[in-house]
Chain A
Amino acid sequence: GQNIDQPTEMTATEGAIVQINCTYQTSGFNGLFWYQQHAGEAPTFLSYNVLDGLEEKGRFSSFLSRSKGYSYLLLKELQMKDSASYLCAVRDRDYKLSFGAGTTVTVRA
């Protein structure tokens, strides 16, 4: 099966930066996705990486190293509304998308 690991919880202060790490071991690789999920709501798509390097989208950036089976999501200038669960997901050789258990980020004033 697939193995996708990310920290369970992180806490940061409003205006700060938080980095959420994700390591994976999957059968093949066809892309890595990050999703945001607020409590009681559906996951929403944040970013996609298929090649090594950094993808920047506003306050959010995502990095991928395929050789290390590693990605991170960087959240800058944290706002209270960024308090949510962040899900790392990897698409395997059969194009099935498997998810990590998610990292709950709490932003404090």
Chain B
Amino acid sequence: DAGITQSPRHKVTETGTPVTLRCHQTENHRYMYWYRQDPGHGLRLIHYSYGVKDTDKGEVSDGYSVSRSKTEDFLLTLESATSSQTSVYFCAISESQEGSPLHFGNGTRLTVT
């Protein structure tokens, strides 16, 4: 299995508080992604990174920011959590964009009360 670790695995927080989720990889892959998964919607891309300090928005980026200061770490921050951000968040990595599949971490279940 690809070496991807997400932390924390579970988190409960209150509306309006900041939250940071961490993704750590040991594969030295260039590309990293954050998705959220909700019933009926499948996986939706929040942000992705194509290198250190190089990031771009996905289809549901509002309310989220990311940072990548090292190849191995990709952080997702909710500046002020809302109940609509209650979800399961998956980090994924890929070696390249052409032909290379995404490999997913085990997910973080976030509940915003």
Contacts and interface: CB of A to CB of B under 8 A. Distances in A.
Contacts, number: 47
B97 interface: yes
A28 to B, nearest CB: 12
B107 A45 contact: no
B102 A45 contact: yes
B45 A97 contact: yes
Interface residues of B, number: 22
Chain A's interface size range is: 20 to 34
A44 B104 contact: yes
Contacts of A101: 40-42
A45 B45 contact: no
Interface of A: 1, 4, 30-31, 33, 41-45, 48, 50, 87, 89, 91, 95-102
